[in-house]
Amino acid sequence: MVMTDKQQEKKLLQQQVGEEDYRKVVEELPVGILSCDREGNVLDINKFLLELLGSPSAEASIKKINMLTFPSVVESGMSATVRKTLENGTINSIQIPYYSIWGKSLFLRFKTLPHYGTAGDIIGCYCIVEDATKTIETEEALERKLRKEKLIAQVSSRLINSTLIDIDTDIRIALKNMANFLNAEHTAIYSGNSDQEYLTRMYEWHAEDVSSYVRNNEKVRKNVWLTDHFDQYLTINIPDTEHFEGDRDMKDQFAKLHIVSAAIVPLYYRGTFKGSISIGSSTKKIRWSESDIYLSRLIGEMITSLVERKHTENHLLSKEMDYRQVINSIDTVIWKTDIDKNKNVTYFSVSASMDKILGLPEGSVGTDWKKYMSLIHPEDIKKVSDFVFLKGTGDKKSIEYRLISENGEVSWLSSNATVHLREDGSVQLVGTTRNITKQKLAEEELARSEKKYRSLVEQSSDGIFINRTDGQILDANGKACEIMGYTKEQLKQMSVVDLLIPELRPEGEKVMELLKVQRFIHGETKYLTRKGDIIDVEINASLLDGYKDITQAVVRDITERKRAEEAMLRAKVEAESANRIKSEFLASMSHELRTPLNSIIGFSDMLAEGYTGSLSETQQKYSQYISTSGKYLLTLINNILDIAKIESGKMELELEHFNLGEVFEDAGKLVGHLAKKKNIKLHVIEPENIELLADKIKVKQIIYNLLSNAIKFTPDNGRVTIIATASGDKVRVSVTDTGIGIAESDFDKLFMPFKQIDSQLSSQYSGSGLGLSIVKELVELHGGNVTIESEPGKGSTFTFTVPFSPP
């Protein structure tokens, strides 16, 4: 049975509605979807991925990006993943940072799946893209906080325990660790008093490829601007020295030293200005946060305190000052205790530094053993007593305990002692005591952070496992128990390999061995729950910093997502198959119809021209009707054939060099009679010296379609103008009319095949609804684009641009 035109149109519309429903599903998915052919050319991309990458349109993305050759895609590792899927038909995924050509900086989860043709061969690849930026940023922020707290504790411990010999080395190590944490290439300590005109560089660390700014012990003059900031305890933080407007001399100095970002923090010791600590970057612009500035100030003050101690101890060694005066001036407490054989304290002496720690007037403790014991925290009295009454010559012991000052403030102290046993049975203890309150506070803060981290782990929507590299599970959060259906105690009796479905367990053993080498793995697999259900999971596992054999694995249940992906892919395959069948049908029918139509047109023209004898007026009229209708139908069939070729990818360009003015002239002649019938003024402004390398016939078809369309929708006595101008590496052609105009809400419908924007206009202005669709496809085939400006009742301007030579 032969389908009527109405039946064909209805079937095509039904297919189109199905495609539109499919597109709606894809466009509403909260993940990026992209497809490409065997050569890596992008065929389709959904709205979510366009917005994620910052692309202005699907056309811009599809025309610019090849998944196998595009530079940023190759550099990110996504090309290798796509190539692997195209070659092997495997499902692959990676997690990588990516910088799109539209200025978006992201961290993506990228997954590829093969696209099989009807013959079972791989004809392309589907890519699923998820934005993992916020997750990574949250993890990085937590990791950075823990690293910062660990850095403070390490630097504090190193500097507090530094000896006179090791002070210089320890300070430089502290500066290096701080600079690495802040991503700086240079940091330095300058000393100076508030009444001096100069700062002296005391210590410096810089990266290997960065030159030293100032030599050791070199003096740098303080300008007025810098002095004013130091006097007001203000920190100088300059993320971009090129646009720094604070002080011209400093800006010139930054440029001379090639510093792009800098921060200068004043340092005070016991209320007195002692100098500054500076950090600088020569390779990248950095905006250091308040937390970063606080870290540099804290480490700078630790170093300043240590430097003060160094100065004091050097002074002691060089000038041989009075022993008592020296030990009373340094922060480290020196003490001595004599104990008789009956365990009675016969002598006790502690340096004045203890009074400073407790906030007491100098000499308050001195030699008063009972006074000192009364200040010890009640919970630590027994521990201190056991520590003091030691036995054994040469024994060295240490203890940490608390003191409570008279105002109730608690201080943490660390004491070390050497025991000397005398001949009469008495014992002498000589030792030192340091104030470790800041260190303890830092440790407590770190413990609180670890507790918060544990809370975050328990509240995580993903399962988290802590296990050894041999697979033995050591700990798991509540979500992990929920996913697998086991209690935490039951999981601790298992290996992570036991969670896999049986056929994947040998492969799981290999992955565990691979993890020991790579230190990180990411992938998808299948787990078997306690109830016997098989679930799909995504795993990110890595060795914990500071541990050789402890691994943390984050497991996400992606069973529902996998089902959704499979359903989506099935729908896409079905839609593409339907679209291909449609295109093949249109191409076949168009070829079949053109042969009899050519005969109809030819014989009707012969009748009208009198080759078979004279015709009556009525016969002449009918033969012209036959010829006109046949030619219109042939044009419609040719348009349908063009659309079918374009959609099936069989339309090819036959490139040649030609002058655009010749095409304008020919097109004007072709539509001239149409304009005369409606008394429309046709202005063809022929361009001069515009040469193109393009398909001349198709460019002529584009211009003819736009001109005939403008004439058709322009009322009698109107005006149609065509003009061309060169714009960069492209030529811009505009067709302007004084026709009925188009509402902006209908712009998207203009270029859809078989569509007219108003059903009421269909009867008034006959047409197939294919002209503008063909224009758009042919322009884009040349690497160009089409735009429209219009307003109802005031006419329209259609503009297309194509490059002077194909891309």
More confident residue, 392 or 666: 666
pLDDT tens for residues 643-687? Answer: 666 665 667 788 899 999 888 988 888 888 889 989 999 999 988
Alpha helices in 336-414 (DSSP H): 353-358, 369-374, 381-388
Higher pLDDT, 792 or 607: 792
CA angle 54, 59, 60 (to 5 degrees): 45
For the segment 99-120, what is each residue's pLDDT rounded down to a tens digit? 887 878 888 899 999 999 888 8
Q: What is the pTM of this model?
A: 0.31
Nearest-angstrom CA–CA distance, 597 and 627: 10
Q: How confident is the model at residue 807 (pLDDT cuts 50, 70, 90)?
A: confident
Of the listed ranges 346-350, 488-492, 627-631, the least confidently predicted one is 627-631
Q: What does the alpha-carbon distance between residue 632 and residue 672 come to, in Å, rounded to a whole number?
A: 18
* C-alpha pair distances (Å), 551 with each of 189, 339, 374, 516: 39, 52, 48, 9
- Radius of gyration, CA atoms only, the chain: 42
Decide if pLDDT at 209 tops 50: yes
Write the CA distances from 21 to 5, 25, 27, 43, 568, integer angstroms: 24, 6, 10, 19, 12
- What mean pLDDT is predicted for residues 141-155? 75
How far apart CA 542 and CA 789 sit, in angstroms, is 56
Nearest CA to 202 out of 175, 229, 183, 184 is that of 175
Whether the Cβ atoms of residue 267 and residue 276 lie closer than 8 Å to each other? yes
SS3 536: strand
**Which one, of 421, 527, 428, lies nearest residue 480 by Cα?**
527
Rounded Cα distance between 338 and 180, Å, is 48
Q: Which is nearest to 508 in space by CA: 550, 541, 530?
A: 541
- Do the beta carbons of residue 586 and residue 560 sit within 8 Å? no
The residue with greater pLDDT, 574 or 105, is 105
**Is the pLDDT reported for residue 430 higher than 70?**
yes
Report whether 477 contacts 466 (CB < 8 A). no
- Give the model's pLDDT for residue 3: 46
Determine contact, residues 108/553, Cβ cutoff 8 Å.
no
Q: What is the DSSP string of 471-510?
A: SBEEEE-HHHHHHHT--HHHHTTSBGGGGB-GGGHHHHHH
Q: Both tokens of residue 265?
A: 């923090």
End-to-end CA gap in the chain: 46
Q: Nearest-CA neighbor of 201 among 179, 222, 170?
A: 222
> Do residues 59 and 751 lie in contact, with contact meaning Cβ atoms separated by under 8 Å?
no
Cα(798)–Cα(805) distance, integer angstroms? 22
What is d(CA 352, CA 364) in angstroms, rounded to the nearest whole number? 8
pLDDT of residue 759: 43
Burial class (CB in 10 A: 0-12, 13-18, 19+), 563: exposed
How far from chain centre, in Å, is Cα 110?
A: 12
Between vectors from CA 547 to CA 541 and to CA 548, what angle results, nearest 5°? Answer: 85
Q: Which residues pair with 18 in a beta bridge?
A: none
Q: Please give the Cα distance from 800 to 652 (Å, whole number).
A: 19
Question: How far is 527 from 535, CA to CA, in rounded Å?
Answer: 5
User: Which residue, among 183, 189, 218, 42, has the nearest Cα to 115 in the 3D structure?
Assistant: 42
Lowest mean pLDDT among 34-38, 61-65, 504-508, 733-737: 61-65
Q: Which residues pair with 400 in a beta bridge?
A: 414
pLDDT at 679: 93
pLDDT, position 15 = 45
Q: In whole angstroms, how far apart are CA 577 and each of 15, 583, 648?
A: 11, 10, 11
Q: Which residues pair with 537 in a beta bridge?
A: 525, 557
DSSP 797: E
- Residue 39, pLDDT above cutoff 70: yes
How far apart (Å, rounded) are the C-alpha atoms in residues 46 and 27? 5
Average pLDDT, the chain: 80
| Tens of pLDDT, residues 693-750 | 998 888 888 888 899 889 999 999 999 999 999 888 899 999 999 999 888 888 877 7
For residues 429-455, give the mean pLDDT. Answer: 74
Strands (E) across 192-302 are located at 198-206, 219-221, 236-238, 261-269, 272-281
Structure tokens at 331: 């922060």
Strand partners, 106: 98
The model's pLDDT over 764-796, given as tens digits with 9 standing for 90+, comes to 555 555 678 888 888 988 899 999 999 898 899
Categorize the per-residue pLDDT at 797 as very low, low, confident or very high, splitting at 50, 70 and 90.
very high
More confident residue, 438 or 555: 555
- 276 pLDDT higher than 50: yes
Q: How confident is the model at residue 688 (pLDDT cuts 50, 70, 90)?
A: confident
Residues in Cβ contact with 794 at an 8 Å cutoff, skipping those fewer than 6 apart: 738, 741
User: What pLDDT digit, counting tens, does each position of 224-254 carry?
Assistant: 787 888 878 788 888 888 888 878 888 888 8
Give dist(CA 753, CA 16) in Å, integer: 10
Decide if pLDDT at 802 tops 90. yes
Beginning with the edge strand found earlier in the chain, give each strand of the sheet holding 122-131 in spatial order.
Answer: 42-45, 32-37, 122-131, 105-116, 92-99
Would you state the pLDDT for residue 114? 93
* More confident of the two residues 388 and 665: 665
